[in-house]
Amino acid sequence: MLELCEVCGDDLQTLQRREETKGEFIRIIIYKKCQVCGLGRIDYHPFMPIHSFEEVFMPNFKAVGGPCIRQCDVDKQTLVCRSCGLSYQITDVLNERSDNK
C-alpha cells in the first residue's frame, strides 16, 4: 500500500516493523520516514488477541520446512512462502505419509 508524506507528497518508506506483546495480546508498531523531507511517523495499531495465521485461516494445514514466521509472504495459490520456501500441506496428507513409513 502506497502512503504519501503529509508534508511534501513523496512516498513514505517503512524503516522497521515491531511486534509488542502483553499477555495474550499483540500490537504492531510500524516506523516510517519520508526520504525527501525527513518527516517521520510511527503507527501504533491497537492490541488484538494473538492468533496464528494457521489457526485462523488454515486449520487443516500444517507448516512444513523453512524458518519463516512472516505469513504475509505466503502465496495464496501455491501455499509456499516467497521468502524462505516454507510450504503448507493438508494434515491428512501428512498423516498418510507418516503411516507409510
Task: Note the pLDDT tens digit of each residue in 5-29.
Answer: 989 999 999 999 999 989 888 899 9
Per-position DSSP letters for 42-67, written without gaps between them: EEEPPPEE---HHHHH-TTEEEES--
Q: Note whether 72 and 100 are same-domain residues.
A: yes
| Helix (H) / strand (E) containing 37 | none
Coil, helix or strand at residue 10: coil
Question: Residue 12: which domain range?
Answer: 1-50
Q: Note whether 55 and 90 are same-domain residues.
A: yes
Task: Note the pLDDT tens digit of each residue in 50-99.
Answer: 876 666 666 666 656 555 555 556 677 777 776 666 666 665 644 555 55
- State the pTM of this model: 0.49
Q: Note whether 43 and 58 are same-domain residues.
A: no
As beta bridge partners, residue 33 has: 13, 40
Q: Note whether 100 and 82 are same-domain residues.
A: yes
Q: Note whether 99 and 85 are same-domain residues.
A: yes
86 grid coordinates: 516454507
State how far the Cα of 99 lies from the Cα of 91, in Å rounded to an integer: 12
